[in-house]
Amino acid sequence: IHHPPVKVMLSSPFACGSDIIHGKKVPEGLMLYMASVQNDAGHVLIKSLLSPTHVVLGTHNLQNGLGENIQIKQTFMYGDYNGIKQGGDIMILKVSTYSLLYLFHMTYICDLIVQITVQQKMCQVAGWGKTENESQSHELRVVSVSIISPQVCQEQWRPFLHLPPNVTCAGGYKTNKGFCQDSGGPLVCSGFAAGVVSFNRNLNCKYPDVPNVYVDISKYLQWIDKILK
């Protein structure tokens, strides 16, 4: 049976931090598509994400030494990317070998891409990092967030920024739940990949605030398909 090389999707290296605000620990055996982008120092943030060297797959705790360590072979940044607030804040990492975890235990979340609608209402975003009490967590955490209509999102952001194209919004607005620049974390709706964490307002982690902004990956399917082929 032919299996394509594992490729890991994440946001551009210029988003920073790694916080899930008011989230819960993810039980073992769930969300196994999550990957930690790392270098020799461990899970990377903005300072070292410019030169990641490997990905750890299938581990929920970054300190337990479990999971699968795979070297990154190639990076693909979206062609016209010019900063997170200009759009195109998406990157794909191709790793050097097949993942046994993916072949035998997981589905490709990137094969399951849907366009987000307000009717979907609740989605989930996950990541590693600080919690609402600002303590550092090495465990994978997840939080449920509500999809926010493009009109409401644009209206709330208008005093600060004209939102770039091809984004969607969820969480952070009229709620104490959201992300705090959890770079590359997936927005998952009913088990389908829908968005990638992009940015919030001035790295603010105190919610409620303006909505959190994600890349709408359904708008990049042609580019993704070209790379995966």
Domain ranges of the chain: 7-15+32-106+219-228, 111-218
- Scored b (16 or more CB within 10 A) or e, 14-36 reads bbbbbbbbbbeebeeeebbbbbb
Give the pLDDT score at 30.
65
The percent of residues above 90 in pLDDT, for the chain, comes to 14
Would you say domain 111-218 falls under CATH 1.10.10.60? no
The percent of residues above 70 in pLDDT, for the chain, comes to 55
* Alpha-carbon gap, residue 49 to 39, rounded angstroms: 8
Query: What phi, psi does 194 have (nearest 5°)?
Result: -130, -30
Write down the mean pLDDT value for the chain.
Answer: 69
Is the per-residue pLDDT at 12 higher than 80?
no
Is the per-residue pLDDT at 154 higher than 50?
yes
CA distances from 170 to 77, 144, 148, 199, 204 (A): 24, 9, 5, 11, 15
Query: Do 217 and 196 touch, CB atoms closer than 8 A?
Result: yes
Name the residue with higher pLDDT: 82 or 145: 145
Asked if domains 7-15+32-106+219-228 and 111-218 share a fold, the reply is yes
Which CATH number does 7-15+32-106+219-228 carry? Answer: 2.40.10.10
Rg (CA), the chain: 16
Is the per-residue pLDDT at 1 higher than 50?
no
Place of tokens 């210029």: 14
| Secondary structure tally for the chain: helices H, strands E | 3, 15
Q: Which two tokens stand for residue 22?
A: 């008011």
Residue 182 has, within 13 A of its CA and on its CB side, a CA count of 33
